[in-house]
Structure 1
Amino acid sequence: MTVLKTTNLTKKFGGFTALDGIDLELNKGEVFGFIGPNGAGKSTTIRVLLGILKATEGTVEIFGKNAWEDAVEIHKRIAYVPGDVNLWPNLTGGEVIDLFVKLRGANHESRREELIRKFDLDPTKKCRTYSKGNRQKVALIAAFSSEADLYILDEPTSGLDPLMEQVFQQCVMDVKRAGKSVLLSSHILSEVEKLCDRVGIIRQGKIIETGTLRELRHLTHTNLLVETKQPITLLQEITGVYDIKEKNQALSFQVETEALDTVMKHISQFGIVKLESAPPTLEDLFMGYYEGNSEGTEET
């Protein structure tokens, strides 16, 4: 079941095209990673999804409804966490959490208390005294305390320490197990790699690749570290082998997926003593797209 779908989503600011034909689809019970550098168009896309900005062209549907025309109805089923949370300075963190939860017509006192404990938040302090990380905690607790069907998270762990990032990841997996959907916009690739079923990579306002990590990894290289009884020769002549380096009597290099069989047959002749294989990371894939073209568009 499709929860969110954009077709040819285009957003222009005067003569500047911030989003250029974005096609996205998010299914029920799925965590979708939306990645790209700052200025690539992630936040602009999310503002259109939330009905804050109107698309110049294309269609945006959430729960089968128009994201602009039916924004009020859609928001009843959405929880949103921005990357920079602004709160009412004279309210306490607990009061803000209660306000957001009540706006959704929900009352999950036990869930609220559990999350406050997990995120190690003092809910009695005024929001003006909170650090950036604590403001993020307030927004995350409010979001995960509510019964939303879709969680839109835009750089949600900004300002959190590594321990709190783990708590956040547990919360995402909890809502996924409950059949909820999550759109996670992030530039922290390790976070996306741990949590997401599928990934969309955006560059200069365009989606340049979408798929599962398994599907995307064929576009990059496997990292190998090999130690042999005899020195390996002629490795550099095999098509699909790159970046050969010597490391303490061993060789490290990268291999295209299609060349793995040929490479293994070749190096086995020299008596393999040690072999370490590391799958390509999302970061390897990501940098493969951006190397040589690191300029992102400026977001308006």
Structure 2
Amino acid sequence: MTEKMLEIKHLSKNFGKFKALKDINFELHAGEVLGFIGPNGAGKSTTIRTLLGLLQATGGSATIFGLDVWHDSVKIHRRLAYVPGDVYLWPNLTGGEVIDLLLKLGGQKHTTRTDELIRRFELDTSKKARTYSKGNRQKVAIIAALSTDADLYIFDEPTSGLDPLQEVIFQQEVLQLKEKGKSVLLSSHILSEVEKMCDRVAIIRSGEIIEEGTLDSMRQFTRVQMSVTTKQSLTDLSEAAGVHAFELKGDNSATMQVEADHLEHVMADLGNLGILSIQSTPPTLEDLFMHYYEESGMDL
């Protein structure tokens, strides 16, 4: 069985009377990329800060490498790399000096890998950190983290402030970590980013994990978008079980959404009508995300 790099059991965190985390449970295995998603205020950063030993949990347990995240945080930090969503740097140091300092603090050295990352992310390391935009501050932390030979990488909204081309480079780098068997916990608000990189997804809402699993397993509970043309009229199909958002484009053409549980029956009905063309699109991560939040009646 794959080694558990991170395990959270019934984790809770209260700030006074406010319950920021309520009975959180999930795990991350070796060589896996886990997407941790939810809107602002859902509890993502609180969970990550607890994992980093910056906050002490109110209840439950959390371990990384089998070690307690609060009592063994120093040992844990020797084997992980972290990028926060809002990076603050020493203002009078240059970008290059900050990168080297971060690496030294983690027991690492500036290598050709570091130089390659500086080139890829197009960071001017000669400038003082106080002159950097938010995106450049993020690049400094990302370069330092990716230069580190860690067992676990924790990214909390890492690409905030980066342009789309730099986001793609980051995605490529994470996929390379995955190929090397590294483990990654990625919190991101960019759902397409999570969809491209992650093996599994955990969705958090109001301090609770409302769904966890692979994208394929989650898609079984949502609707497939279909566009179809048949020889015979499609009008009667609008009343079929499991069919939603049915819209005729002519007597013999229509678009619709079909619940996964009813897909087989709908396909049989379409076959009886004589399929001329059909296109189906599985739900995206954004569709899944909206599905779970709409079920709760919450506004994003």
Q: TM-score range by the shorter chain?
A: over 0.9
Aligned twin of 1:205? 207
Aligned twin of 1:77? 79
Choose from 14, 28, 32 the match for 1:12: 14
Distance 1:55 1:190 in 2: 31
Moved over 6 A (4+): none
Give the Å deviation of 1:265: 1.6
**Conservation of the 8 A alpha-carbon contact between 1:10 and 1:22:** yes
What whole-Å deviation, never above 9, does each CA across 1:231-252 have from its counterpart, x for those lacking one?
2131122111111123477311
Aligned twin of 2:43? 41
Distance 2:120 2:270 in 1: 50
Give the Å deviation of 1:175: 1.1
SS at match of 1:53: coil
- Residue 140 in 1 paired to residue 142 in 2? yes
Give the Å deviation of 1:290: 1.1
Distance 1:147 1:276 in 2: 44
Distance 2:82 2:212 in 1: 23
Aligned twin of 2:278? 275
Q: What is the aligned-residue identity percentage?
A: 60
**What root-mean-square deviation, in Å, do the aligned CA atoms of Structure 1 and Structure 2 show?**
1.3
Between 130-139 and 267-276, report the one with greater CA deviation.
267-276
SS at match of 1:38: coil
- Residue 255 in 1 paired to residue 258 in 2? yes
Give the Å deviation of 1:256: 1.1
Choose from 105, 109, 112 the match for 1:110: 112
Choose from 283, 294, 300 the match for 2:298: 294
Give the Å deviation of 1:116: 0.5
SS at match of 1:29: coil
Between 226-235 and 28-37, report the one with greater CA deviation.
226-235
Q: Which amino acid aligns with 1:57?
A: G
- Residue 150 in 1 paired to residue 152 in 2? yes
Distance 2:110 2:274 in 1: 62
Q: Which amino acid aligns with 1:275?
A: I
**Conservation of the 8 A alpha-carbon contact between 2:99 and 2:143:** yes
Q: Which amino acid aligns with 2:267?
A: M
Choose from 5, 11, 21 the match for 2:23: 21
**Conservation of the 8 A alpha-carbon contact between 1:108 and 1:146:** no
**Conservation of the 8 A alpha-carbon contact between 2:41 and 2:206:** yes
Distance 2:232 2:23 in 1: 54
Structure 2 regions of 5+ residues with no counterpart?
Answer: none
Give the Å deviation of 1:174: 1.1
Distance 1:185 1:123 in 2: 27
Distance 1:178 1:108 in 2: 20
What whole-Å deviation, never above 9, does each CA across 1:198-229 have from its counterpart, x for those lacking one?
11010000001110111111110111001223
**Conservation of the 8 A alpha-carbon contact between 1:189 and 1:283:** yes
- Residue 234 in 1 paired to residue 274 in 2? no
Distance 2:131 2:72 in 1: 37
Give the Å deviation of 1:158: 0.4
**Conservation of the 8 A alpha-carbon contact between 2:62 and 2:68:** yes
Distance 1:84 1:293 in 2: 30
Between 147-156 and 104-113, report the one with greater CA deviation.
104-113
The alignment covers a number of residue pairs equal to 296
Give the Å deviation of 1:108: 4.5
Give the Å deviation of 1:295: 4.8
SS at match of 1:227: strand
Q: Which amino acid aligns with 2:298?
A: S
